[in-house]
Structure 1
């Protein structure tokens, strides 16, 4: 990730390419596609694919036809056809992989009405485009103020200028249908440009704005996730997660997309487990399943009259009790089976720092009693030598 311009400078600070999110090598952008066919040459007589993929602000990507047969590579800034005027974007993919991407997104590459690429962007085009990008934050703030004055129940989350500066697209989120005709008139009068309003969902808003998730990493939707699958609360139930909306909801206010990542593994593991609605019949009464742990292979049951007292049973024990219940036989109690699962474990404290003591570097302390005893001690009298003459 990153190119040579991202290396550290002389003062210890990263140099950076100063492109404000439009990296020249497309190495620092999100949703970057790796061209694994770049080193392979085409067969003899085959012409290169005449369509390219161009990325605009945030994650918006579109396909254009290279009708002028320009020599394009990933990272080139190009001027493309728009509804009126021209737009400026960056080439993110060329060659045969564009055909694969168009088939995946159900785009017809034989369509003669496919928009075209005019030319490689000149310095004048880039300067004008950059000037428009610098105005986006100011215009977004002013548009929000106009929407508040008109008392519209909507939130303008992002603004995207066209490359030639003649048009701006405002992305907004709203719960209900919004009549923004007066808003368009006021904004067109205030900014002097053509206005287009486009409603997006809350997940798309989080994708465009980005952020840090509860896991400490960048949001999946703003880095690599390209499609939004529906997430239901049953995904949390299958994984035995507490139905706490504050923990299960992401920054978009919807259920986190990562709840679907491990769901298939849990569903495969639960195929061999008894159902959550399993009821066991004993002589002490009926027992209901309270909890399932697929990692330990255990189930917790409690009697109908004693819902606070849980008894842990293994999966095989529950199946055995179910087979007896099918034969209209009742077991004595759950305690008989639960006692078999109790294992007395001795508490073993390990020395986590190794064999050495934590006080090995400290100087040994002498007690005061030893010092006093040394002071009271008198030196022994020296023996005089005797003459044996």
Structure 2
């Protein structure tokens, strides 16, 4: 077992493990640590805990120290400095006439590096911009192009449900979401109904997917051949949540489909959930 603490550097960012270095820390404490980006100040969101060795990427870095009041003041000044840098960043982009949108600024705790986040429709040659910014701030400069999901997470906003974005409030990391999930949940494959403000598939499609997969495993799909108390038939509609199937009986093909509960039918040959090629091509961009 390995003793760890969990540290987060953004309000709703990824949690990173560090060794407490014989310190006892509580959730809400701040610690100074060394990361791949440089020395950073982060908030402890997981207090001292032992976890299995295979869940930790070794070697595990130790915290440098528990943050002091002076460290927290430095962190506060860095956040204020970032707001001023953002104004300069936007002006420099305009000066260089680059097709890019400034999104966020991140200064490392020790001031050794400044990260500039932006979005753009395509790749941008920003070499001259980097030189310009480096001449102003006299430190290491890194420009990082991000996607629309990351942009939404950084900027925040309200989703079509009327609530703040999940990615801004509690999702530490994005989970893969696919068109197949929307199809399995019997949702309309209308881009405006299954995509979020960012223009990509809604993250909430993932929340109940495990439940839908369990129900799909026990529910005959549309097109399935089943045996009912009234004879054989083909499933025309299946409601996963209620378990009600509408079956077109072979003995009376011109009549309306008859409703049966899934536990009252016997599956002879299951159907398949298919996504039409034209549907997939039309919606493929929502997965990117």
Question: TM-score, normalising length from structure 1?
Answer: 0.54
Identify the residue that residue 135 of structure 2 maps to in structure 1: 189
Q: Kindly state the Cα deviation for residue 170 of structure 1 after the two structures are TM-superposed.
A: 1.8
CA change 1:127–1:96 in 2 (3 A) is closer
State whether structure 2 residue 70 is matched by structure 1 residue 120.
no
Check the 8 A contact 1:79/1:117 in 2, yes or no. Answer: yes
Identify the residue that residue 208 of structure 2 maps to in structure 1: 262
Aligned-partner Cα distance in 1 for 2:214–2:45 = 39
Check the 8 A contact 2:15/2:172 in 1, yes or no. Answer: no
Q: Which runs of structure 1 show a deviation greater than 6 angstroms over 4 or more consecutive aligned residues?
A: none
Secondary structure (helix, strand or coil) at the match of 1:116 reads coil
State whether structure 2 residue 163 is matched by structure 1 residue 217.
yes
State whether structure 2 residue 10 is matched by structure 1 residue 90.
no
CA change 1:189–1:265 in 2 (3 A) is same
Q: Kindly state the Cα deviation for residue 289 of structure 1 after the two structures are TM-superposed.
A: 8.6
Identify the residue that residue 16 of structure 2 maps to in structure 1: 62
Identify the residue that residue 113 of structure 2 maps to in structure 1: 167
Q: Kindly state the Cα deviation for residue 259 of structure 1 after the two structures are TM-superposed.
A: 1.9
Q: Unaligned 5+ residue runs, structure 2? A: 226-233, 260-288
Q: Unaligned 5+ residue runs, structure 1? A: 1-45, 279-287, 299-313, 322-330, 342-389
Aligned-partner Cα distance in 2 for 1:231–1:177 = 25
Aligned-partner Cα distance in 2 for 1:297–1:121 = 59
Secondary structure (helix, strand or coil) at the match of 1:96 reads strand
Q: Kindly state the Cα deviation for residue 203 of structure 1 after the two structures are TM-superposed.
A: 2.3
Identify the residue that residue 273 of structure 1 maps to in structure 2: 220
The correspondence of residues 1-389 of structure 1 with structure 2, limited to 5 A, is 49=3, 51-58=4-11, 59-67=13-21, 69-82=22-35, 86-97=39-50, 99=51, 103-104=54-55, 106-108=56-58, 111=59, 114-270=60-216, 272-276=219-223, 292-294=238-240, 295=242, 297-298=244-245, 314-315=246-247, 318=248, 320-321=249-250, 333-335=253-255, 337=256
Cα deviations by residue, 1:95-123 (Å, 9 ceiling, x for unpaired): 224x35x744x512xx2xx4432323333
Q: Kindly state the Cα deviation for residue 334 of structure 1 after the two structures are TM-superposed.
A: 1.7
Cα deviations by residue, 1:292-320 (Å, 9 ceiling, x for unpaired): 5454735xxxxxxxxxxxxxxx32xx2x4
Cα deviations by residue, 1:137-173 (Å, 9 ceiling, x for unpaired): 2322321332243343433321111113332122233
Q: How many residues align?
A: 248
Q: Kindly state the Cα deviation for residue 246 of structure 1 after the two structures are TM-superposed.
A: 1.8
CA change 1:70–1:240 in 2 (3 A) is closer
CA change 1:72–1:275 in 2 (3 A) is closer
Q: Kindly state the Cα deviation for residue 254 of structure 1 after the two structures are TM-superposed.
A: 0.6
Secondary structure (helix, strand or coil) at the match of 2:65 reads strand
Q: Higher Cα Rg: structure 1 or 2?
A: 1
Aligned-partner Cα distance in 1 for 2:49–2:37 = 29
CA change 1:290–1:157 in 2 (3 A) is farther
Check the 8 A contact 2:14/2:172 in 1, yes or no. Answer: no
Secondary structure (helix, strand or coil) at the match of 1:188 reads helix
Aligned-partner Cα distance in 2 for 1:60–1:232 = 22
CA change 1:115–1:247 in 2 (3 A) is same
Query: Which structure features the higher share of strand residues?
Result: 2
Check the 8 A contact 1:248/1:256 in 2, yes or no. Answer: yes
Q: Kindly state the Cα deviation for residue 206 of structure 1 after the two structures are TM-superposed.
A: 2.4
Q: Kindly state the Cα deviation for residue 215 of structure 1 after the two structures are TM-superposed.
A: 2.1
